[in-house]
A and B are shown apart, each in its own frame.
Chain A
Amino acid sequence: MARRAFLAGSAVVLAACHPAEGEYFGNTTPPAKQRLVFENISEPETLDPAKTQSASEERLLPSMFEGLTTLHPVTMEAITGMATHYTASPDFTRFTFYLRGHPNPSGIRLPDASSLTLAPPPPDNIPARWSDGGVVTAHDFLYSWRRAVAPETAAGFGIAYFNCIENAAGIIAGKIAPAKLGVTARDDFAISIQLCRPAPYFPSLLWTFWFCPVPARAIESAKKGGAEALWMNARNIIVNGPFTLARWRPNDYVVLRRNPRYYARSSVRLEEICFLPSRDEPTMLSLYKAGLSHAIPGKFLTPEAVAGLRGKRDLKREPAARISFYSLDSLQPPFDNILVRYALNMALDKKPIAAYLAGGELPAAGVVPPMRMFPPLQSLPVTVDGQTYDVLSSDPAGARTLLAKAGYTGGVDKQGKRISFKLTINQRPRALKTAEILQEQWRQRLGIEVMIGSVTESIWAEAVSNKRYSGMIEDAWTANYLDPNDFLEMFGSPGATGATWTSASFDGELERANAAPDATERLHQLAEAERTLMRVMPIVPLYFDSFSFLQKPFVRGLWNNPGDVPLFKYTSIDTHWRAS
């Protein structure tokens, strides 16, 4: 009931926004200072990069800690961070990164985002510093990464990305000592990483929080004081990113202040960022409308709110590197029959879902969202009994034929029993509406009955991760690094989705693709792997998301990239902005 009440609240806030009121939603008076108030949706669970689990920290931590590489704020590609150059072995199993301050770095120079700022980029041979003045060295990374994989740290899910580093899986499982991690410091400013499988995408993984360096001095002295968590107090914290923690009042705000020792400090314009954890949509919208917050990030506005804000110039939209799909249990009948899986997908018309969501979502045929150099999978012809079907297209007649071939004519099996299955969804209004659209289509076009079960987030998440559900379950994936591999790897054994299908030959195919020495050849092989995957069809792909977000017109240089990771390093406030 409370949720419905909150939705009603949104309607009230939006109702207050009369079309005649202007081209922007609410107050557009810029603040007098370079102080941005950013709606961070929820309270951060921790500020420890290794332990982070939630999207709240995803928006906060990149401003405080910077990895070997960092993100291009617009394209999300890996750019210079603490490292400026790297070399990779021909089979992509050994990488060496050269940190800022290295006298003679070699290999490939990482790109930078200097085109986005007026200030000249700092020279590569000046070392980066921590906010206490200490130099950031290769040993900081050694310490941080060993700490991240150590079982007693009890790190978050992202630590699974370490699994491509030699011995990491064994260390996480508690079988090998953390010191045996396949990482060595060649000198103070060069670090070598030995991988256990080819990973050409490795540099783009390194911006993620789990790979960020943490301050050894602060952590060790807090540990000696008896409470490790104290290192995250504003008084004790040491950072290497553009902003440092000034104040953290739980459930009230987190304030970051410009770090005067950051290596590219001259390009940082904001003095202060205040992150709010307002959580409920009506609250967020009314704070934004009153001008008490300046931006709301993507993927949180409900379709109803987006529809209500249509036409406002401060409502923006960007495609997201995210796919929504339904995972299915292909080990149990009737989904163990591949023809049934084909029929389920072919019976659907996914356009009405995109139309309901109304944020520019794209109906999905495959699993990898459209990326540069990687066009989305459109069709996949499969021959059954001498006849060819495009199993990725919407073809209700073909779906009925395949269902009949599988022994379920008109959705009824030979004993006269109608196919019915359970669909578990996360309790959110948009998920329910989507499920109802599909339920109706399957009923009308195939004669299949779907029972929708809506559960709370923690129950849903547990069902997905343990693959313990019957029938079908709602599922989604957002890229942590912009590469097709992030989407395909989740279907490798043991599988990070709810889909019960796994296959050693698919794992091998992915590994071979990633070992391809030529980038174009690699993408070609990854596309082939996606086709292999969809030929098995362990999921029903639904749509590629898009992010709708609000941003006051006086906010400059704050982009919503496909991963919805805002980088405030390039942001400023146009204090003189006036509505024309």
Chain B
Amino acid sequence: MFRYILRRLLLMLPMVLVALTVTFVMVQMAPGSPFSSQRRLPPEIEANLKAKYGFDQPKLVQYTRYMARLVGFRYVAQRGYQWQGYPDFGDSTKYKDKSVNQIIKEALPVSAVLGLFAYALALALGLGIGILAAYKQNTWIDHSANGIAMLGIAVPNFVLGPVLVLIFSLTLYWLPPARLEWAYEWGYLRIPTLRTLLLPALTLSAVYVAYIARLTRTGLVETLKQEYIRTARAKGLPEWRVVTVHALRGAILPVVSFSGPALAFLLTGTVVVERMFAIPGLGAYFIDAANNRDHFLILGLTAFGAIALMLANLAVDVTYALIDPRIRYE
């Protein structure tokens, strides 16, 4: 098992390298300049800016310097490469005084807390609805659960969000329409108040509730027909134990494999919901970076997203082995 994880981790390195190289080439090919703004830049001023970020160098030199920075060597004018000892994603060109590391450090915890909460919400609601639907198969409960799930998948979050805001914020005045307020702050880690977190988390989780409910129901309907369930019932176990422990364990595997990428996506920031609710997470930067041709920020976020996705997939595979004793990795 340990060797398996190690091998997977080592394999990640070339994959991240490929992802970064492809992104680097694509960013270079995209039209538009990172320094354009509402006003035009006179050429000498643009030249100074380009020199500051090293964009006046040949592409290959830029690529080498960037990769060197990623593994901890920073190129400093006149002094050459210098060891700084940590992976450095470079400087943002839009946010003039910030490094990409700094931006990720500030924004990631916010996205992660929101994502985690939304996912917990999705898991609780999704599993609940799924179990209920499978257990009361083909009754009105099953059908209405199915309906809710279809609605959750079909209604995009940029419709659901404003509708929730309209109902709960602008008509009933129960919850604020946007922005998080902070209940606790420890350095970069900030915990928002439940009141402000509820609407964005609900908007974010709707689609996951739907998927999880459907996956759970399908899996559970299948496992409930298995021989070992009959055995469990024959042993005289209470019904809730049969369903939630014995059957669910076998039925939940599809939910687990769905959860990996879903979690990676949720934790690293969601573009639409964060923008809609003015949440200072990583998601807002994704659009900004692309729109502003903020080269290093795009690269940094891509690398970060890729690593998060791969780690999540690895976690899924490990969880498989933990849940299902039939699965072994050599």
Contact = CB atoms under 8 A, between A and B. Distances in A.
B94 interface: yes
Residue among A8, A48, A280, A290 facing the most chain B CB atoms (10 A cut-off): A290
B173 interface: yes
9 contacts: A6-B158, A48-B97, A53-B35, A152-B48, A154-B48, A278-B179, A283-B178, A292-B176, A465-B46
A283 B96 contact: no
A465 B176 CA distance: 42
B283 to A, nearest CB: 10
B31 interface: yes
A459 B166 contact: no
B316 interface: no
Nearest to A458: B32
B36 interface: yes
A58 B120 CA distance: 42
Contacts of A290: 169-170, 173, 176-177
B38 interface: yes
B170 A151 contact: no
Given A5-B158, A462-B32, A283 B277 contact: yes
A274 B90 CA distance: 30
Given A251-B107, A286-B170, A458-B32, A13 B162 contact: yes
10 A-B pairs with least C-beta separation: A229-B97, A465-B40, A461-B36, A251-B280, A286-B177, A458-B32, A5-B158, A252-B280, A46-B96, A154-B52
A13 B51 contact: no
A457 B95 contact: no
Contact of A13 (B35, B158, B166): B166
Nearest to B281: A251
Contacts of B41: 157, 465
B126 to A, nearest CB: 25
B14 to A, nearest CB: 32
Contacts of B162: 8-9, 12-13, 282
Contacts of B51: 151, 154
A260 interface: no
A160 B42 contact: yes
Interface residues of A, number: 63
A155 B51 CA distance: 12
A195 interface: no
Contact of A279 (B98, B106, B275): B275
B3 interface: no
Interface string B148-159: 000000001011
Interface in B19-61: 31-42, 44-49, 51-52
B284 interface: yes
Interface string A447-470: 000000000111101101100000
A155 B278 CA distance: 29
B39 A53 contact: yes
B171 interface: yes
Residue among B37, B169, B275, B280 facing the most chain A CB atoms (10 A cut-off): B37
Given A159-B45, A232-B97, A461-B40, A283 B278 contact: yes
Interface string B94-130: 1111100001001100000000000000000000000
Contacts of A173: 44, 47
A461 B38 CA distance: 7
Nearest to B288: A43
Interface string A424-455: 00000000000000000000000000000000
A408 to B, nearest CB: 31
A408 B177 CA distance: 57
A9 B285 CA distance: 21
A110 interface: no
Interface in A144-163: 151-160
A287 B179 contact: yes
Interface string A9-50: 100110110000000001000000000000000010111100
A359 B152 CA distance: 39
A9 B158 contact: yes
Contact of B170 (A8, A13, A456): A13
A170 B284 CA distance: 39
Contacts of B106: 249-250
Interface residues of B, number: 58
A55 B38 CA distance: 8
A54 interface: yes
B278 A458 contact: no
Interface in A487-519: 494, 496-497
A155 B52 CA distance: 10
B249 to A, nearest CB: 40
B94 A45 contact: yes
A286 B276 CA distance: 10
B275 A280 contact: yes
B302 interface: no
B69 interface: no
Contacts of A229: 96-98
Contact of B178 (A157, A160, A286, A459): A286
Residue among A46, A251, A290 facing the most chain B CB atoms (10 A cut-off): A251
B146 interface: no
A292 B196 CA distance: 12
Nearest to B52: A154
Residue among A54, A156, A279, A462 facing the most chain B CB atoms (10 A cut-off): A462
A277 B35 CA distance: 21
Given A6-B276, A458-B34, A461-B32, 15 more contacts: A5-B159, A9-B158, A160-B42, A250-B106, A250-B107, A283-B278, A289-B170, A290-B170, A290-B173, A290-B177, A292-B178, A457-B291, A459-B31, A461-B38, A496-B39
B36 to A, nearest CB: 3
B31 A462 contact: yes
B166 A458 contact: no
Contacts of B253: none
B166 A16 contact: yes
Given A16-B170, A229-B97, A456-B32, A279 B291 contact: no
A282 B42 CA distance: 35
A464 B40 contact: yes
B292 interface: yes
A373 interface: no
Residue among B38, B275, B280 facing the most chain A CB atoms (10 A cut-off): B38
B272 interface: yes
Nearest to B103: A250
B178 A278 contact: yes
A51 B96 contact: yes
A77 B167 CA distance: 46
A287 B278 contact: yes
B293 interface: yes
A283 to B, nearest CB: 5
